Amino acid sequence: MQRPTDREACTALVYRFYRSLDTHDYAPLKDIFTANASMTRMGNGHAGLTAIRTALSKRAATLRTRHVISNLTIDPETNGAACGHLYMTVVRSHASPNATLPLLIRGPWRMSDVKIGFEHTDSGWRIATLSTTSLFEFDPSLPAEEVSA
């Protein structure tokens, strides 16, 4: 396999991060974020890799998620860093680890706008900033024809 381009390396970080969330495996975070990274998620800010890991480890063990990433763009910046932007749709449910699949849900949970700052370190590309802003919360009781303009 060939070495990835900078854009491919940053893209892989995005997918690895959301895979860590979906699997509740936070060990890879040290290879995804810089030590002094910052993350804003669900309205809460976290500064530093330790704070990010601590916040994520508080997620319920019964929480099952899948983060679907789309419209990912990564652009170089003049200082040798890069910035990324994507849309993230989350489906989720609470279930025991041995629950029968597929899990039944009424629809996606949330769609968010995500902005990411990448930094090139001695160990390669890492996420330095990640900021998530919720755009849509899905309400299965709301009929589509009643959505206001």
Q: What is the mean pLDDT of residues 143-147?
A: 61
Predicted local distance difference test score (pLDDT) of residue 135: 96
Q: Look at residue 147 and tell me whether its pLDDT is greater than 90.
A: no
In the chain the domains, ranked by start, together with CATH numbers, are: 6-138 (3.10.450.50)
Amino acid at the residue 89: T
pLDDT bin (cut points 50, 70, 90) of residue 19 is very high
Residue with tokens 């860590």: 20
Residue 78, pLDDT score? 83
Tell me how long the chain is.
Answer: 149
pLDDT tens digits for 30-57? 999 999 999 999 889 999 999 999 999 9
DSSP secondary structure, 134-149, as one string: EEEE--TTS-GGG---
Contact 102, 11 (CB under 8 A): no
Going by pLDDT thresholds of 50, 70 and 90, the confidence category of residue 148 is low
Q: Give 80-116 pLDDT, tens digit per residue.
A: 899 999 999 999 999 988 899 999 888 899 999 999 9
**pLDDT score at 42:** 87
DSSP for 43-87, written as a single string: TEEEESHHHHHHHHHTS-TTEEEEEEEEEEEEEE-TTS-EEEEEE
